[in-house]
C-alpha cells in the first residue's frame, strides 16, 4: 500500500506577518504612484474650462494665423502676436471639433502657458477615468534666423519624472514625419532640438528673425525676400 504524503508544515506566524507587511507596502506604493500620476498642474486646471466667449477667441486666433500666412506670402516685413487665451480657446473648441487627427492617439485636451522664454504644455494621456496629465516645460529661443532651439526643462506624468532626452528625441521624430527638418545636439551638457523652419517656397525666401515669449503671449517677426534662400 503506497505511503500517504506527509502534510506540509503550517507556515509560521512570522512568515505570515512578513507576507502581510510586504503586501501592505506594495499596495501603499502602488496607491502613492497612482496618486502621483493623477496630479494635475495648477495652470492646466485653470485653463481647462473653455470659458465664456471661447468660440469668439478661437475665431480671432484663426484670423490672426490667416493674416500672418498672407503676410508671409508676399515680400516685406511681417510680425504677429498670439495670445495664450486665444490659443487655448482654439485648443478647447476648434481642435477637437475640426482637427481631431492632429493629436496622436491617446492624447486629448492640450493646453499651453506662456512665461518669459518658456512654454508650458500639458495634455491628457489615456482614457478619461484613468488618465494622467503629461506636462512639459520648454525653453524655446532663436539660435539664428529661422532656427529654433528647444530644450526640455521638465517632463512629468503627474508628479512622476520622465526621461527628457527620450521625449525630445521623440518630438524630433514626429516633426520629421510631418515634414520638418530637425537636429538633436548636445550643447553645454544639455540636449537641444534644433528645428529648421522651411524658408523657400514659390521663388521667395522667408526668414524668422525674432521670437519673444512673454507672460501670456508669443510674438514673432521676420521678413519675406524675393528670390530663393542662399545655400
pLDDT tens digits, one per residue of 61-73: 999 999 999 999 8
Instruction: Give percent of the chain above pLDDT 90.
Output: 57
Look at residue 103 in the predicted model and tell me its pLDDT.
Answer: 87
Nearest to 139 by CA among 126, 130, 148: 148
**Residue 176 or residue 122, greater confidence:** 122
Mean pLDDT of the chain: 85
Q: Report, as an integer, the average pLDDT of 16-35.
A: 61
Which pLDDT does position 41 carry in this prediction? 92
The pLDDT assigned to 14 comes to 72
pLDDT digits (tens, 9 = 90+) for 75-84: 999 999 999 9
pLDDT band at 39 (very low <50, low <70, confident <90, very high): confident
Sequence-ordered alpha helix ranges (H) in the chain: 13-37, 42-47, 54-72, 84-92, 94-98, 164-177
Determine whether 19 is exposed, middle or buried from the number of CB atoms within 10 Å of its CB (0-12, 13-18, 19+).
exposed
Mean pLDDT of 217-225: 95
Q: Tally Cβ neighbours within 10 Å of residue 118.
A: 16
Segment 152-200, tens digit of pLDDT: 999 999 989 999 999 999 999 988 887 788 999 998 888 999 999 877 6
- The more confident residue out of 165 and 7 is 165
Q: What are the pLDDT digits (tens) for 195-219? A: 998 776 667 888 999 999 999 999 9
Residue 71 and residue 75: Cα distance in Å, rounded?
8
Amino acid at each position: 500500500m503506497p505511503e500517504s504524503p506527509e502534510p506540509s508544515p503550517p507556515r509560521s506566524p512570522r512568515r505570515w506577518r512578513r507576507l502581510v507587511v510586504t503586501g501592505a507596502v506594495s499596495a501603499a506604493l502602488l496607491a502613492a504612484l497612482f496618486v502621483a500620476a493623477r496630479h494635475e498642474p495648477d495652470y492646466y486646471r485653470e485653463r481647462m474650462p473653455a470659458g465664456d466667449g471661447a468660440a469668439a477667441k478661437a475665431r480671432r486666433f484663426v484670423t490672426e494665423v490667416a493674416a500672418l500666412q498672407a503676410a508671409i506670402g508676399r515680400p516685406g516685413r511681417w510680425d504677429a502676436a498670439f495670445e495664450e487665451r486665444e490659443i487655448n480657446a482654439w485648443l478647447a473648441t476648434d481642435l477637437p471639433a475640426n482637427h481631431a487627427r492632429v493629436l496622436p492617439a491617446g492624447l486629448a485636451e492640450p493646453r499651453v502657458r506662456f512665461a518669459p522664454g518658456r512654454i508650458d504644455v500639458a495634455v491628457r494621456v489615456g482614457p478619461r477615468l484613468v488618465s494622467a496629465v503629461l506636462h512639459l516645460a520648454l525653453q524655446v529661443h532663436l539660435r539664428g534666423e529661422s532656427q529654433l532651439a528647444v530644450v526640455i526643462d521638465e517632463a512629468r506624468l503627474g508628479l512622476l519624472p520622465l526621461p527628457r532626452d527620450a521625449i525630445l528625441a521623440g518630438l524630433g521624430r514626429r516633426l520629421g514625419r510631418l515634414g520638418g527638418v530637425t537636429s538633436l545636439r548636445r550643447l553645454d551638457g544639455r540636449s537641444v532640438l534644433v528645428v529648421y523652419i522651411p524658408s523657400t517656397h514659390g521663388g521667395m525666401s522667408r526668414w524668422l528673425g525674432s521670437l519673444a515669449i512673454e507672460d501670456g503671449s508669443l510674438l514673432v517677426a521676420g521678413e519675406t525676400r524675393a528670390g530663393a534662400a542662399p545655400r
